[in-house]
């Protein structure tokens, strides 16, 4: 019997997926979580074989929840089931250690097969997500294009510091900060501070630099 923990912040989806999972003879739903923090706590308590993880959740998103679950329970398989097919989330989830990535528009049978594949140690990935991963592997990491100073500016931006405080922290002028930000936005393919900060968080950039 494959023991599954379901993490999704929408009650209707949790109920529907819960009934679906319960309908399969070889899969058992051992718990449900309404946010990322609860998912981490229940994974520690229940030790499921597979965590079916949503990404957009309150308190702690699914990417960070995946990272924390696997840090404490590396034998647990985390299978993402989400409505998001954008590059940052897909790559962020895979880099966090998710074994697979499915979209919520898949058929019920594909969810079950995905759970079974994850439990076998395989990597069930939606073709749309797979294309994104393959494309990313063929392209350089945007973060690798940043200079050490630009990396420092981006890290402080993630902390929420305005240009004036970034300049003070790094002992450079605000004009230089703006120049670095322009270069950062261009390298990451984003247009503003919020998008740059989201990229840094979802890509694991802040963790690679030793941040939160």
63 has a pLDDT exceeding 50? yes
- Out of 120, 138, 156, pick the residue that ends a domain: 138
Report, as an integer, the average pLDDT of 35-44: 97
19 shares its domain with 104: yes
Residue 62 belongs to a domain with what CATH number? 3.40.50.2300
Angle between helices 11-22 and 108-119 (to 10 degrees): 70
113 shares its domain with 18: yes
Report, as an integer, the average pLDDT of 110-128: 94
80 shares its domain with 126: yes
Angle at CA 100, nearest 5°, toward 143 and 57?
A: 75
Q: How confident is the model at residue 136 (pLDDT cuts 50, 70, 90)?
A: low
Pick from 10, 105, 9: nearest CA to 61: 9
pLDDT tens-digit series, residues 165-198: 999 999 999 999 999 999 999 888 888 998 898 8
27 shares its domain with 132: yes
157 shares its domain with 204: yes
195 shares its domain with 101: no
40 has a pLDDT exceeding 80? yes
Contacts of 110 by beta carbon, 8 Å cutoff, 6+ apart: 102
Number of separate domains in the chain = 2
Residue span of the structural domain in which 152 resides: 142-208
Q: What share of the chain is helix, strand, coil (3-state, %, to 5)?
A: 55, 15, 30
User: Looking at residue 211, what is its pLDDT?
Assistant: 44
Q: How confident is the model at residue 212 (pLDDT cuts 50, 70, 90)?
A: very low
Task: Using the structure block, give the residue that is written with the tokens 């999704």.
Answer: 8
DSSP letter, residue 168: H
Residue 163 belongs to a domain with what CATH number? 1.10.10.10
Please tell me the distance from the alpha carbon of residue 108 to that of residue 77, in angstroms, as a whole number: 19
């Amino acid at each position: 019997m494959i023991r599954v923990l379901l993490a999704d912040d929408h009650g209707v989806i949790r109920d529907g997926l819960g009934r679906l999972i319960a309908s399969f003879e070889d899969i058992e739903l051992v718990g449900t979580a309404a946010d990322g923090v609860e998912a981490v706590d229940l994974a520690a308590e229940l030790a499921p074989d597979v965590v079916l993880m949503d990404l957009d959740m309150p308190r702690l998103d699914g990417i960070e929840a995946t990272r924390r679950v696997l840090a404490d329970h590396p034998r647990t398989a985390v299978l993402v089931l989400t409505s998001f097919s954008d590059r940052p989330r897909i790559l962020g989830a895979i880099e966090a250690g998710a074994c697979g990535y499915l979209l919520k528009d898949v058929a019920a049978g594909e969810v079950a097969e995905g759970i079974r594949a994850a439990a076998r140690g395989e990597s069930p990935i939606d073709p749309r997500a797979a294309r994104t991963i393959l494309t990313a592997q063929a392209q350089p990491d945007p973060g690798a294009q940043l200079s050490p100073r630009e990396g420092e500016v981006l890290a402080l931006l993630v902390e929420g510091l305005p240009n004036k405080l970034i300049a003070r922290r790094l002992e450079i002028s605000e004009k230089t900060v703006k120049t670095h930000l322009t270069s950062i936005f261009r390298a990451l393919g984003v247009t503003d501070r919020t998008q740059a900060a989201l990229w840094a968080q979802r890509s694991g950039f802040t963790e690679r630099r030793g941040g939160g």
